[in-house]
A and B are shown apart, each in its own frame.
Chain A
Amino acid sequence: MVAYNIYKLLKEELKNGSSDLVTRKSGQAIRERIERDIENEESGEVIALDFSKIGVIDYSCADEIVAKLISRLLSNEYGDKYILLTGLSDNQKENIEVALERKDLAVIAEMRDGERVLLGNLHNYLKDTLDAIQKKGKITAKELSEARKIEANTSGTRLLNLHKKRLVRKIDETRNGTRVWVYERV
């Protein structure tokens, strides 16, 4: 996992001494910087956007940075990468969540107290699957079938859908001499 200190990026890009993510124009500058940096990351990398030193995030900036990044991540514009938000305050969470919900997107966030939460929109059955992965760390389709007492096809589809939304990583592992897809938390 590689961490991007958003406060540092803000200082470097705007040079106005502000610790707040406000205005669409500022959001655009920060997002473009993040996009440039993401290009240089290795395939499969998890990028943690660290908001811990940021003050306020308004809706326009939340849309311009987080919602657009997630939207483009899902369109495969950044390749096989994952995005996680870290160091969020309750107020930041509230504003980012509104921006994500409006575009029917979701992302995993780690709050300042370390609690992991899902922000945005996700079907309940996918939330349940994600919850299983968050608790276990990683899971196969077979293990999910057994844990949730659902058909193997169903569990496979759910895991694939979560992966398409870049909410879980998909790893090729060999277990007892057999190659299996394992889905693990970002």
Chain B
Amino acid sequence: MHLSEDTFETFLPGLSNRDVIDLREVTFIDPYGMVGMLEAGRYLSLKNMHKSLILPASGEVLKYLERMDFFKFAERYFSVVPEMPHLPEKYMRSSGSDVLLEITPIEKSDDIHFIVGKVKKRAHAILKKHLHYDERAINGFIVALSEVCQNIIEHSENTGYVGIQKYHFQKLNKNVVKIAVMDLGRGFRGSISERIAVKGDLEAIEKALLQGISRHDDIGRGHGLAAVRRFVKEWNGKISIRSGSAKISIIPDWAWGKEKESRLMPFPGAQISIVLPEI
């Protein structure tokens, strides 16, 4: 069982009905799955539903979760079973070089400075070495990351999480970097409808992502997400934005998925995924 962007929709509906979320069978989890799990737990906690989370049986998955600091936050929202997996120290950080950014909360402007500073330090070890990015591409990556994270502070009126990791994508035989950024705020429709009338979540995401429209009428605003889209396109990446009950993806040749989805299970805030392949 995988827990990733591809399986998030099948995973989500069962969450509120069960007292126990059983991840024992999970053999792969990516930043989207991990950040999604935390946000789902946070959402349920806010509704006074405190669930038990049975951890994956796979030692590899546990090590990965630890490297990404998942447990640091999971215990806030779940009763983690077993309480804390015992991982020998030597495994805990030994493979840390694939982590570009551990799961990090986004609550205020200073958090973005912290995130940018941390990613800059690791960019050469990961983006240059594994994705073969040059200085210009690394700069574009950092700017895109900054813009997509500050979307939470500027528009969601809530807080969120971000996590980034490098993988070897076997189907492509290439390295990829996956970014997941999520919040529990008012979502694209809630934000944009302050300024213009939109029919639903799908139209709101379209306006923001494809037309650069934001809730502000200043022509300098709404540019961040459009710039992220241009960066992802330039480097042949995939971007997906899910908000409310809709999702829009910009899909390159090597990837798959639906470009537009609606009538998904409603979930607050925004869930953004960016996948960038080696060049």
Q: A18 contacts which of B113, B150, B219, B224 (Cβ < 8 Å)?
A: B113
Residue in A closest to B117 when the chains form the complex, CB atoms: A18
B143 partner residues in chain A, CB cutoff 8 A: 22, 56-59, 95
**Do residues B150 and A60 form an inter-chain contact, with CB atoms below 8 A?**
yes
The A interface is mostly helix, strand or loop, or mixed, namely: helix
Q: B227: CB under 8 A from chain A? A: yes
B113 touching A22, Cβ below 8 Å: yes
Among B112, B114, B224, B227, the most chain A Cβ lie within 10 Å of the Cβ of: B112
CB-CB contacts of A146-186 with B at 8 A, as 1s and 0s? 00000000000000000000000000000000000000000
Q: Does A16 contact B (CB under 8 A)?
A: yes
Residues of A within 8 A of B113 (CB): 14, 16, 18, 20, 22-23, 26
Query: Which residues of B are found within 8 Å of A26, using beta-carbon distances?
Result: 109, 113
Chain B, Cβ-Cβ closest to A22: B146
Looking at chain B's contact residues, the main secondary structure is: helix
Set of chain B residues within 8 Å of A14, measured between Cβ atoms: 110, 113
9-residue interface stretch from A41-49, A74-82, A96-104: A96-104
Of the listed stretches B18-26, B29-37, B134-142, B264-272, chain A binds B134-142
Q: Is A90 an interface residue (CB 8 A)?
A: yes
Point out the residues of chain A lying under 8 angstroms from B136, CB to CB.
90-91, 94
A67 to B114 Cα, complex, angstroms: 25
Q: Which residues of B contact A25 (CB under 8 A)?
A: 109, 153
**Quick one: CB contact mask for A32-64 with B, threshold 8 Å, 1 for yes?**
000000000000000000000001111110011
- Contact at B120–A56, with CB atoms within 8 Å? yes
Question: Which of A16, A23, A64 lies in contact with B153, CB distance below 8 A?
Answer: A23
Q: Does A142 contact B (CB under 8 A)?
A: no
Q: Is the CB of A56 within 8 A of B153?
A: no
Q: Which residues of A contact B (CB under 8 A)?
A: 14, 16-18, 20, 22-26, 55-60, 63-64, 67-68, 90-91, 94-95, 98-99, 102-103
Contacts A14-B110, A20-B113 known; list 11 others, CB within 8 Å: A55-B120, A56-B139, A56-B142, A58-B142, A58-B146, A59-B143, A59-B147, A60-B223, A68-B220, A91-B135, A103-B219
